[in-house]
Amino acid sequence: MGSLCVASALFIGKLQGNQLKCCFGLTRPFDHSLLDNMKKLFTQLFAILTLVSVAQAASAADVVGNAKAAENKVAMCIGCHAIAGYKATYPEVFQVPMIGGQSAKYIESALQAYRKGDRKHPTMRGIAGSMSDQDIADLAAYYSMQK
Ligand code: HEC
């Protein structure tokens, strides 16, 4: 109990000390070097933030497809796309297009169109809907290299 009192007394003392310092700071004549330091700090902080956001924007703009990374993403495509002449029967009978060997750009824009809803096929929309830009780029790279 005694030590608790001492601890809280110390705590309050500290608080008051800080408040005193604050008040003291306000009543002193304005310290310009302090302001300059603050300005420098903010300029540096701003520069760092700008750099970080530029770096992020750059990496979002050029997602590079990695065919190797697609190898564990194609499992769910193979069921339909790997079988020549295969027809998916839901909700109607669809001819499943060959995607192997098509250009990466074409595959990428097709998947993005399904994801956005510009292409309407429900199965492909469902599949593309959960893909990231990276997934799409990887799959496009993978299938464009297939014969
Ligand atoms: C359930 C069967 C099924 C699965 C699974 C499936 N697809 Fe499809 N996919 C289709 C059908 C059917 C179409 C044609 C749809 C249309 O007419 O728009 C299609 C179309 C496409 C197209 C457009 C082809 C073109 O020539 O325009 C691409 C690209 C594609 N799929 C990629 C994929 C990828 C990548 C996966 C795996 C992540 C996948 N699909 C999984 C059935 C499937």
Burial of 40 (0-12, 13-18, 19+ CB in 10 A): exposed
Q: How far is the CA of 138 from the centre of ligand 1 (A)?
A: 15
What CATH architecture is 67-144? Orthogonal Bundle (1.10)
| Start and end residues for every CATH 1.10.760.10 domain found in the chain | 67-144
pLDDT greater at residue 122 or residue 87:
122
pTM above 0.85, yes or no: no
**pLDDT surpasses 80 at 129:** yes
102, 144 in Cβ contact below 8 A? yes
Q: Which pLDDT does position 94 carry in this prediction?
A: 67
Residue nearest to atom 14 of ligand 1 (CA): 96
Rounded CA separation 25/81 (Å): 73
Rounded CA separation 84/86 (Å): 5
Q: How far is the CA of 12 from the centre of ligand 1 (A)?
A: 68
- 94: β partners: 88
